[in-house]
Amino acid sequence: MLKLGDVPFINSKPLFYALELGLVPHQFSIENHPPYILSKLLSEKKIDLGLIPVAELVKKGGYKVIPDISISSFGKVDSVLLISKKEIRDIKTVALDMRSQSSSSLIRVIFNSFYGMKPEYVIKDHKQNFFDGVDAGMIIGDAGLQYLFKNKDGFIVYDLGEIWTEKTGLPFVYAVLAVNRDVDLKENAGVFAESKEIGKQKIDEICENEHKKIGIDFEMCKKYITSRIRYDLGGPEQEGIRKFACYLNDVGITTGFEKLEFY
């Protein structure tokens, strides 16, 4: 049986919900891990394919990408946030959520390339005194949604997806479904498009099941996975990946990226 890696966030549910319920026949065992662990497992070939951060795809290469599948946004995303005690140009120290590479790389691009700043970064667990001793902190995923829904501490909230689109005019792609180059998916290669379409039809069901687990209301959950998150990987999204790769090269995170190679 093939091993498929998913993330434990609401934003991937429309992609894999039908697979989890067996509504689409497949030959996958599905594992859930934070993005940074999925990247490691895929690199070590302990899983066959996984929803990995685009920063990892760009840095390491060696993967094929399932067509027309992504976790992306155009404008506000609501779940990738910089929570700050100060205005953005006054920030000197930033805590980074240890679970993500793409968002951590994005914030470096935003500070370096868009604002000409180089704050100090501290990688931390978002559950443990995250904002202690720093000017700002970046949180992702369901924790970001929870913060946006419940925030009463008066900090300034910057949406990183919104900043990226304002500066580039492009979507930002957070994750793609990457396949190890020597893996043969056989008839399973086509199940993801079908699963995505079924997932889009079951948004209300997904939100009814998930919103209380996250700690947000039903309408915010629905808005997030219908209006904030996008699931395609068309021309604009591919251009967004190329632009991100160029910025990563500028800040010294990568040394070059040629093109997406589709499965």
Residue 172: strand, helix, or coil: strand
Q: Kindly indicate the confidence band of residue 92, based on its pLDDT and cuts at 50, 70 and 90.
A: very high
pLDDT, tens digit, for every residue of 101-152? Answer: 678 899 999 999 999 999 999 988 888 888 999 999 999 889 899 988 887 6
Do β-strands 28-32 and 2-6 pair in parallel, antiparallel, or remain unpaired?
A: parallel
pLDDT at 152: 65
User: Is the full-model pTM beyond 0.85?
Assistant: yes
Q: Which amino acid belongs to residue 224?
A: Y
Q: CATH 3.40.190.10 occupies which residues in the chain? A: 2-72+173-250, 80-168
Overall fold of domain 80-168: D-Maltodextrin-Binding Protein; domain 2 (3.40.190)
Tokens 């008839």 label which residue? 187
Q: What is the CATH number of domain 2-72+173-250?
A: 3.40.190.10
Q: Kindly indicate the confidence band of residue 85, based on its pLDDT and cuts at 50, 70 and 90.
A: very high
Structure tokens at 236: 């604009």
Rounded alpha-carbon distances, angstroms, from residue 200 to 26, 73, 164, 203: 19, 16, 26, 6
If residue 123 lies in a helix (H) or strand (E), which one and from where to where?
strand 120-124
Closest alpha carbon to 64 in 42, 31, 46: 42
Averaged pLDDT of the chain: 93
Closest alpha carbon to 203 in 70, 73, 18, 55: 18
DSSP 135: S
pLDDT, tens digit, for every residue of 228-261? Answer: 999 999 999 999 999 999 999 988 887 667 789 9
- % of the chain with per-residue pLDDT over 90: 79
Closest alpha carbon to 158 in 214, 124, 115, 210: 115
- Residues 50-76: what's their mean pLDDT? 93
pLDDT at 255: 64
CA 166 to chain centre: 18
pLDDT, tens digit, for every residue of 29-39? Answer: 999 998 889 99
- Residues 168-186: what's their mean pLDDT? 96
